[in-house]
Amino acid sequence: MNSKLRQPRNGIIEEKIVEYLKQNPDFFHDHDELLHSMRLHHNVYGSVSLVEKQILNLRERQQKLNAQLEVMLKTATENSQLLLKATGLTVALIEARSEQELVDNLLAQLNDKFAIDTSRIWLFDPSGTLNHVNYGDLYTIQQLTEQKFITEEPVCGRVTDSTAQLFDGDRNIQSYALIPLGEGAELGVLVLGSKDANLFTADMGTLFLRLIGDVTQSCLGKYYS
């Protein structure tokens, strides 16, 4: 038998070594000569010392932290821009001097400032006569969207054959956001559509969509009180 073959390790001894090092974290500080003599296998760099391994680990950790920081900064910038747009939309709705002007301002802000490909306002008012407004009833919208509007939270997702009818059957629209106006969608719904299938997704945050819905409902509500 080759005497150079690696002998089986003594598990008990290894456990004691590991436990000792855990209890004495400064051990290698007092015996730094061992750090340079110890060799560790690395898939990329081959054999490296323990010190080199620690440096590589720190470098990889720093790269991950930098990537996370970039994502956070990008998100913060996007949210800041959305907040400015939402503020502009709020001001435009508050300044509207009539219900028709309110509707026109809302659609203009959504299409121009938020770069939405298309938007629709559905109101549940059988006597409504506003331009650029679709009129319907809650039951019909529930059937098209399969939403019961138990909460006031917006719903996002991919456009189906059914929900495409909210956009006059336009199949160029790939994703949508459905925003109930009021509790149980009592006034109606605001529907935003995009040709980008990934713009509105089921798992996206809806904070700003909820803000748009709340402001719209509040401003429209004064005409139905």
Percent of the chain with pLDDT over 90: 50
Mean of pLDDT over the chain = 84
Mean pLDDT of 151-165: 91
CA pseudo-torsion sign 106, 108, 110, 114: negative
pLDDT classification of 2: cutoffs 50, 70, 90: very low
- Return the minimum-mean-pLDDT range out of 30-44, 81-95, 160-174: 30-44
pLDDT tier at 1 (50, 70, 90 boundaries)?
very low
pTM score, whole prediction: 0.69
Per-residue pLDDT at 4? 44
Q: Label residue 5 by pLDDT band (50, 70, 90).
A: very low
SS3 of the chain: the string is CCCCCCCCCCHHHHHHHHHHHHHCCCHHHHCHHHHHHCEEEECCCEEEEHHHHHHHHHHHHHHHHHHHHHHHHHHHHHHHHHHHHHHHHHHHHHCCCCHHHHHHHHHHHHHHHCCCCEEEEEECCCCCCCCCCEECCHHHHHHHHCCCCCCCCCEEEECCCCHHHHHCCCCCCCEEEEEEECHHHCCEEEEEEECCCCCCCCCCCCHHHHHHHHHHHHHHHCCCC
pLDDT confidence of residue 188? 94
pLDDT tens-digit readout, 97-139: 999 999 999 999 998 888 799 999 999 998 889 999 999 999 9
Q: Please, what are the domains in the chain? A: 12-95 (no CATH), 98-221 (3.30.450.40)
pLDDT at residue 103 in the model: 96
Confidence label for 34 from pLDDT (cuts 50, 70 and 90): low
Is the pLDDT at 197 greater than 90? The verdict is: yes
